[in-house]
Structure 1
Amino acid sequence: MTYTKDDPRSALSAKAPPRTGEAIAAPEFHDFSITAPATVTEAGSRQWIVRGQNFVLIHTRPEPGDTIFSAELASEQVLLLIDHTSSVHGSGSGEEHTVTGPALVVVPPGASEIVSTGTGTIVQLIQSDETEWAQRAANADRYAEPHPRVAPLEPWPEPVGGYRWRTYLMADVPEDPQRFGRLFRTRAFMVGFFKPGDGPRDPRRLSPHTHDDFEQCSLVVAGTYIHHIQTPWGPDATAWRPEDHARVGSPSVAIIPPPTVHTSQAIGSGVNHLIDIFAGPRHDFSAQPGWVLNADEYPAPGN
């Protein structure tokens, strides 16, 4: 890992060496700003669907008043309301729930309905064992066989007090330079809901690093980025890949496989905003005191 001294991640412990002898998946880049949506509802809401090994991501540009989701799930889902124009009215499990972003909302298992009450982006995160949704993903064929280097999802303990609608407003999170961004977790997900940045990232202060056995999903919701990704060389030279320096707009998704070396660089002159998604929660981030903002509601294994 290569972090500057003032990066909170510099306190993380060194990782175990990656496994060898197993194929390394290729990175994926899905730029929704230049691709057609998978679905356009009768009211005109546009939806893009992609997946990773353990998750399905639905990105919706809604029309106000449109029902963007109505289904029954066996597990929780996460809603990301990206900014103050993102708002929803949700119902399910005997509850009614209205919230305006920026926010992270956890929806309990069971039947639920989500109506957009604004025009801003709404992102849904669903476990990939919800087969119907995994099959709808534009890249479903890339996961016809599990990627051998990605650990299967093992949900963490159930939330304290049981399942219910939960909202975490970004406006309630104070700044703390000792903490790495704004991290939240559920049984199946960890989300780094970082604050938007202004202008390009200093190219002398990037943070190339690797993950041993989990994917990273980097969701760009504003601005322009370059995802720098390097696939390690193994003994089989026919499997070597050139480096990726993929320039993407917004909205877009990069799926970064282990154990590639990677870092993302904002290059836009205006607002740049990236959100990191992991399925399941990260043990290393969870071990840092105070980093996970809802740890009291979603305990780590063994706690």
Structure 2
Amino acid sequence: MAYDPTDLRSTLPAAKPAVPERFSGSEHVKFRDLPPVEKTGEISTWYARGQNFVVGYSDLDGSASFRRQDQPDEYVVLLADDNLSATVGDLTVTGKTMLVIPPGDSTVTITGQGRVLRLLTTRSADVAALAANASSYDEPHENIPPFQPWPDPPGGFKIRAYDLTVPPWPTRRSGCSGAPPSWSTSSTRSRARATPPSSPRTPTTTSNSARSCWPANTSTTSAGRGPPTRRTGAPTSTSGWWRRPSR
């Protein structure tokens, strides 16, 4: 950050980051063009890595168990399809779910048909060695900072599960009988765009009579700039669903 010359902080010595002596390009691995690294009758698995992480991608049709012994840090198991279920310890989840597995010994048993992804750091050296592009990292890529782990979680390590199945936007609001919430807006010259809140909140402008979920023509205003208009067709995401017209 550059300070004004009259600011005393401008006289402080500036720390200069180390300049890499060797530049390394990005890595791009196409699993569909490669044979699986691990294959049984029910599961095929490929691996690729970056400087600090490893991705394991598996196609499953049946049941498989992923075991880790003396795992040095947390890792992620991602169920990418609805027809999958996973059991780890006393926890069982179904459908699209992200599991965070603590360090140490663990066994995750997955049943069903679909895609399973695992995300590990390169501290899991045995998994990193299986990556299709492992030889690209025989020497560290100097233009990528070294791995730095997050601080330990305040409540200690434990299995964490996050449901990735999110309903379409309107039904995510409980009740869903009033007008759309009065979202905040950001304006760039002649155009303002509604920005969805990070969590549901009470609308600042409502109607006394109950109405269906967010009708296409609404008199609810946002930031005093007139009613938002709705794109034609069903929304596929929350971003940009309610948009103000250009002026």
TM-score of the pair, normalised by structure 1: 0.48
> What SS does structure 1 have at the residue aligned with 2:109?
strand
Post-superposition offset of 1:20: 5.0
C-alpha change, 1:40 and 1:71, in structure 2 (3 Å) is farther
Letter in 2 for 1:59: Y
Cα offset, 1:139, TM superposition: 1.1
Q: Which secondary structure does the structure 2 equivalent of 1:120 belong to? A: strand
1:31 to 1:158, Cα distance in 2 relative to 1, 3 A:
same
Alignment of 1:176-195 (within 5 A): 177-178=195-196
Please, what is the CA RMSD of the aligned residues?
2.7
2:75 corresponds, among 74, 77, 89, to 77
Task: Report the number of matched residues.
Answer: 160
User: Cα gap change, 1:179/1:21 in structure 2, threshold over 3 Å: closer, same or farther?
Assistant: farther
CA contact (8 A) 1:19 1:149 kept: no
Amino acid at match of 2:85: S
Unaligned runs of 5+ in 2: 1-15, 170-182, 184-194, 199-247
Cα deviation, residue 161, structure 1: 1.0
Equivalent residues in 2 for 1:46-61, closer than 5 Å: 46-61=44-59
Structure with larger Rg:
2
Aligned partners of 1:103, 1:37: CA distance in 2, in Å?
Answer: 24
Partner in structure 1 of residue 113 of structure 2: 119
Shift of 1:109: 0.7
* Letter of the 1:44 counterpart: E
In structure 2, distance between residues paired with 1:179 and 1:87: 31
Q: What residue in structure 2 maps to residue 151 of structure 1?
A: 145
Structure 1 moving runs of 4+ over 6 Å: none
Q: Which amino acid aligns with 1:86?
A: L
Offset at residue 85 of structure 1 (A): 2.0
8 A contact 2:64–2:109 mirrored in 1: yes
Q: 1:102 to 1:32 in 2, by over 3 A?
A: same
Residue aligning to 2:27:
28
Following superposition, the deviation at residue 88 of structure 1 comes to 1.3
> How far off is 1:68 after superposition?
3.6
Name the structure, 1 or 2, with higher relative contact order (CA <8 Å, separation 6+).
Answer: 1
TM-score (normalised: structure 2): 0.58
Contact 1:80–1:103 at 8 Å: present in 2 too?
Answer: yes
SS at match of 1:33: helix
- Distance change (3 Å), C-alpha of 1:40 and 1:21: closer
What letter corresponds to residue 30 of structure 2 in structure 1? D
Q: Structure 2 vs 1, CA of residues 117 and 128 (structure 1 numbering), >3 Å: closer, same or farther?
A: same
Structure 1: gaps of 5 or more residues: 1-16, 181-303
Find the residue that maps to 1:64 and give its secondary structure. strand
Report what 1:98 is aligned to: 92
Question: SS in structure 1 opposite 2:165?
Answer: helix
